[in-house]
Chains A and B, each alone.
Chain A
Amino acid sequence: MKLEVGYIRICDISFAEATEVKEGTLYVNAKELESMVLEDERIAAVCFDIARPGESVRITPVKDVIEPRAKVEGPGDIFPGVITKMSTVGMGKTHVLRGAAVVTVGKIVGFQEGIIDMSGLGAEYTPFSKTNNLVVNFTPKEGLSPHEYEAAARHAGLTIAYTLGKLSAALTPDETKVYEFPSMVEGIKKYPDLPRVGYVQMLQSQGLLHDTYVYGVDMKKSITTMLCPTETMDGAIISGNCVSACDKNTTYHHQNNPVIEDLFAEHGKTLNFAAMVITNENVYLADKERSSDWTAKLVDYLDLDGVIISQEGFGNPDTDLIMNCKKIEATGTRTVIITNEYAGRDGTSQSLADADPSADALVTAGNSNQVVTLPKLDRVIGTLEYTEKIAGGFAGNIVADGSITVELQAITGATNELGFNLMSAR
């Protein structure tokens, strides 16, 4: 499979009469988008806002972040099986509005959504302080159930990102990257001396605001399976979760999975990127046993020399992580796991909820319990009404001067376990 990804640089975003891209600026007609969103009768109202890098803006409670992309050549379309017709993606040509993002916010569903600060200390911890964000703020219809509300908000965010992404199709990319993924036999023939490496991606699947969808399939109802890594670049995996926003993969993370990018960067040089396995993180023990059995079985069957395992979430999924690691190591395949830590605010607690001696190669995205005080920012998009209640907040954390104190876990993407960031801990 071969996918060419063309990046069109977006340096600014602005409201305008016509929705278009001109000289690196994304212009948006909010009225058009509004009527599109309101076609969904579950949503009572929607308003749009703009947040640029460096502005004194706080966005909360954030549900998802999505990158606008368009399919230019090849089968299928962006967000297959969800926004567009089901068809296998990951081949041909895709364009990206690089530097732009759609951010969905609105009244919380549970306790769970995150914070994005566009400047100040908080901006250092979230990757989305560096994107030009179109913020979509929903008001759900009175009496709508949390599950329905979450689904409506998710769908609307994807629809808007898809619509904006379409603009990129006719543009000339500033930069192009080619990702070529050989079939198993081709790979072995081409790189007989390189170690065959796989990627095991664990997907959060514990229920409301903890779900992930693959080609529209709710991952908690799927058995462990395989994907061609380029499929993720066309939106095959989408996020339905942001609980403890620091370590949940937004759709943007899935579209730009850094493990996939970094394995491709070494592909044909120091390793042969041979397979990608996706598995879930369900709450029942039987599901955990089944999924990790299957993960190990597939890795063994594929005869891989090594795999990188990325986790999503913490606590309960630590069990899935350790099961996957232990069972894969037992097949003779070497593992490196990527996780984050809950070592307590002072950093002196044990960091994981499960452990095993075979997990001897670990990359950490940092301690999510670290406390930070975020300065008052001039403008809030969304509401601070839930800042005490969201995961990472606590009673009395909004100070009179307008600053807020939270654990890093409240900041969207701060300790992402795909290894998206530079942050670590020792």
Chain B
Amino acid sequence: MKYRVRHRCRLSYRQPVRDARLNLRLEPVAWPGQLVSGFSLNTDPLPAERNDHPGPYCVNISSLAFREPVQQLEVVSAFEAAVSPPPLPAATPAVAALRELAQEERALGNLSPAAYLYGSHIATIDEEIGAWAAPHLDPERPMLEAARALTTTIHREFAYDSVATHSGTLPAEAFTKRSGVCQDFAQVLLVALRTHGLPAAYVSGYLRTLPPPGGERLVGADAMHAWAAVWCGAEAGWIGLDPTNDCLAREDHIVVAMGRDYADVAPVDGVFVGSSVQATKFGVDVVPIG
């Protein structure tokens, strides 16, 4: 599947802010089965300094520094992506075996399981979530099957509610409320897996906006989307699980970045002098082009 993606957003401030330094994480990383071309990132006003670099974890960062005060900032990113996910593995190792495999991998890189085994500031190891997930994670059960069952459970037990949580909500809180948005569902899923010593990551990206003929429109398609990924062994690698839509992340999902939690891949963050954002407008178009 081939898509044209255009992501536009406008940040407005009550008062002009000074010395703004922003990190934008909008350029898709290299990802198996995904070919990105023609990426462009433009801002108005233009920054005084811009430095594009790969970040820690699987993420591309554009660091912008503004010298002049900024009252309104418009960011437009666009690219084309051809998505053809590698075939799913016929079988994945059992949960207990996978735990050992993950620890035996001799790699520290951005795609290594070791990088996604431990709690982070947002996604801390959580015994309660772990206990809740335990029935699905039988040591002998194949990894992907177990993770997929957990994904369905979240979809069934959690309510999609865009006002129940915000971007700073911790997984434990979303878990207690049993509600939230894509970000919360993804983080609950990965915390559940990590608490059992299984490598799991947070993925940000886009969904196709319009459903295929006869299909249902996916939830989360009008903005950036988030899901989780679980490591299924050296051969199968990372497989995306979308608890919001109760599916695997395949042809309809375009990966932008992968990290331990939301903070590692936040589309924009930074520091500046002045009052905080007053209003944000954004729009995402993900158009199939063949």
Q: Do A and B come from one complex?
A: no
